[in-house]
Structure 1
Amino acid sequence: MVQEEWAFLASLEQEYGTNHPFFYVCRFMDALKMAQEEHKFIFLYLQSPEHQFTPFFCRETLGSELVVQFLDANFISWGALANRGEGFHLASTLRVSNFPFCAVVAPASAGNLAVLRQIEGPVSPAELVEILQRTMEEQGLAFDSARANEEEKRRADRKLREEQDVAYVTALQRDQEKEKLRSFASEQRVSKAASASNSSNQEKTKPLPLKQQNNQIKDGPRAGGAMHKGNAQETKILIRFPNGERREHSFLSTDKVQAIFRYINSLGLPGVGGNYRLISNFPRKVFSVDQMGMTLTEAGLHPKASMFLELL
């Protein structure tokens, strides 16, 4: 722990002893995260060591058993010296004009800070507890509502990801079934062609005239050449994984984007589950469920491309 984070607590206990609320020794942003996780407000105390009211407030108010128990049960307490480090920055941001200074704050969206109440000047233990209690009652409903909205948004995002996963798995299974049917049909054609060839070789027929034989020889290469030109071209895809590993694989330009996902899944790499997306670097494009049906040429990945796998 760096010295700056201990400065306030060391100063407080050196001057006024250890009878005080539990102040977390951490950065202020860490206190905000804790408050968000525990669904509590933050009791913020900025201390001015030289101020005339500081001794009274620390001994009589912060040292009161009533205040200690109330704060420890209901708040995340965090303190700092107002003349240095984070305490100085917060004092400037909150435009503190008098001490002792306390505030009730709450984490807001995007890491921002919501100031719900400011207390400047000396107050008794009963007055402080009353102010804090009233703030909790007045702001708690709005705070809970905002938290509920955030939770609902998280649930909606999670549901969307789950639906996308289901759609991806369904599309993958459908594609695999089609691939099986194509393979079966291809095997059947090869089998029939082989049977026909064997039957033809076994037949005894008269030799063809020399001219007809020459025509067949000439026609053969032309037919084969046309088939070769009709073949899809090779597409090379370089995939970079979050752990820095790289894999290159060749596909056909007519293959679908889904073929890349199938290849990645077949690797069985640790930490790479079904919830991810691919991002091409130049030009930058994101590939997920919606792009599964595109060919590599249509997706702009032919003749070669580099992609990054991003976990979701």
Structure 2
Amino acid sequence: MSRPLDILEASCAGLVRRMVRLPQTISRAVDQGLDLMRDVGGPRNHHQFPPPNVPVHNTFQPEWGFLASFEQQYGLVHPFFYACRFVEVLKMAQDEQKLVFLYLHSPNHPFTPPFCKNTLCSEVVVQFLDANFVSWGGAADRDEGLHMATMLRPASFPFCAVVVPHSGDSLAVVQQMEGPMTPEELLEILQTTLEEQGPSLGNKRAKEIEKRRTDIRLRQEQDAAYSTSLLADQLQEEESQLVRKKKHQDNANAKAQNAQILIRFPNGERMEKTFLERDKIGDIFKFVDSLGTSGVGSNYKLVSSFPRKVYGVDQMEMTLKDAGFYPKITLFIELE
């Protein structure tokens, strides 16, 4: 939005206004004032309007009283004044990283009607405030508006201020405007204030975003570390199971009885080998085949001498224990 300085300078002629710029860190006994606010009542809902012809003060909370009275006199086109306690507006502004536009309404002041009609309710001011600020209004002579007027001590009306949450439930006044002003003047001041305060709000927002990113990154690193630790535990458990299985196998092997098998070949050669009693007759055939003894092909049988028994293909799966080869036996190779 452009800022026509020539119009601004012309409109300032004869202007009755006192504009005070306060340091950002000022917090003028606000904690005490906000303690008084807490006594007004609990949180209220908004987005509802009082029915016509019903006395406001007898039916509605103070925030609705101001809003209903304002709309009855100046219409529905106005900044979106949040009808809630001021401390709740501060929290909204803090969450949304916005400045607060505060308006204290003095209905009997002669400058109030033209300011409300021509400036505060002008469409361009309404759009600018709704887009960039969180707005709150109150009557300067009653309820929370009176508490705020007591804290801020306006010297003249109309009175507007730009405030930010400071610490806890306190606030800092960064700009206050007193006396009548045109829409161009108000927009000029608001735009300047927004430009001056915007970087600090942006930095705070950036810090919050960075903190969230850091928290997410930390959680991801913790999750990754947990997954790595879990995988290491699983591998260690699998390794432990293998060790236990091997140990069990070794123990089982140690408990198994040995069978001494003496094999006599047709050419008179003799070969002795120790087998386990749970080994099978087929293992003896594999052993004989591995020797590659001349004159012994693939067609042969194993024969025990006394009592004579012949072991061939049909007995391959029989264990040495079941065959009676324990603790020792002599087998002859009989060619077919």
Please give the TM-score of this superposition, normalised by the length of structure 1. 0.54
Rate the CA distance shift 1:189–1:83 in 2: closer, same or farther, 3 A. farther
Contact 2:98–2:201 under 8 Å retained in 1: no
Give the corresponding residue for 1:148.
206
Shift of 1:166: 1.4
Give the corresponding residue for 1:24.
82
Give the corresponding residue for 2:10.
none
**Cα displacement string for residues 38-94 of structure 1 (whole angstroms, at most 9, x for unaligned residues):** 543222212234444333332232122332233233323222233455434444444
Shift of 1:125: 2.2
The amino acid that maps onto 2:158 is P
Rate the CA distance shift 1:177–1:27 in 2: closer, same or farther, 3 A. farther
The amino acid that maps onto 2:118 is E
Larger radius of gyration: 2
Shift of 1:188: 2.5
Q: Distance in 2 between matches of 1:139 and 1:181?
A: 62
Give the corresponding residue for 1:161.
219
Q: Distance in 1 between matches of 2:99 and 2:116?
A: 21
Give the corresponding residue for 2:284.
none
Rate the CA distance shift 1:52–1:199 in 2: closer, same or farther, 3 A. farther
State the SS of the aligned residue for 1:66. Answer: helix
Match of 1:47 among 75, 83, 105: 105
The amino acid that maps onto 2:122 is S
State the SS of the aligned residue for 1:78. Answer: strand
Q: RCO higher in 1 or 2 (8 Å CA, sep ≥ 6)? A: 2
**Cα displacement string for residues 71-120 of structure 1 (whole angstroms, at most 9, x for unaligned residues):** 23332322223345543444444454543321122345767644321123
Q: Distance in 1 between matches of 2:251 and 2:141?
A: 90
**Cα displacement string for residues 241-298 of structure 1 (whole angstroms, at most 9, x for unaligned residues):** xxxxxxxxxxxxxxxxxxxxxxxxxxxxxxxxxxxxxxxxxxxxxxxxxxxxxxxxxx
State the SS of the aligned residue for 1:22. Answer: coil
Q: Distance in 2 between matches of 1:124 and 1:32?
A: 27
Match of 1:57 among 106, 115, 118: 115
Does residue 75 in structure 1 map to residue 122 in structure 2?
A: no
Match of 2:180 among 116, 122, 134: 122
Rate the CA distance shift 1:92–1:182 in 2: closer, same or farther, 3 A. farther
Q: Distance in 2 between matches of 1:96 and 1:173?
A: 68
**Cα displacement string for residues 194-249 of structure 1 (whole angstroms, at most 9, x for unaligned residues):** 4434549x9xxxxxxxxxxxxxxxxxxxxxxxxxxxxxxxxxxxxxxxxxxxxxxx
Shift of 1:124: 2.6
Give the corresponding residue for 1:183.
241
State the SS of the aligned residue for 1:7. Answer: helix
Moved over 6 A (4+): none
The amino acid that maps onto 1:117 is Q
Rate the CA distance shift 1:153–1:111 in 2: closer, same or farther, 3 A. farther
Does residue 13 in structure 1 map to residue 34 in structure 2?
A: no
State the SS of the aligned residue for 1:20. Answer: coil
Identity %: 55
Contiguous gaps of at least 5 residues in structure 1:
203-312
Q: Distance in 2 between matches of 1:89 and 1:199?
A: 100
Shift of 1:163: 1.5
**Cα displacement string for residues 164-199 of structure 1 (whole angstroms, at most 9, x for unaligned residues):** 221122112112211221222123223333443454
Does residue 138 in structure 1 map to residue 196 in structure 2?
A: yes
Q: Distance in 2 between matches of 1:88 and 1:199?
A: 103
Q: Distance in 1 between matches of 2:246 and 2:142?
A: 82
State the SS of the aligned residue for 2:157. Answer: coil
Give the corresponding residue for 1:66.
124
Aligned residues: 201
More helix by share: 1
Q: Distance in 2 between matches of 1:64 and 1:18?
A: 11
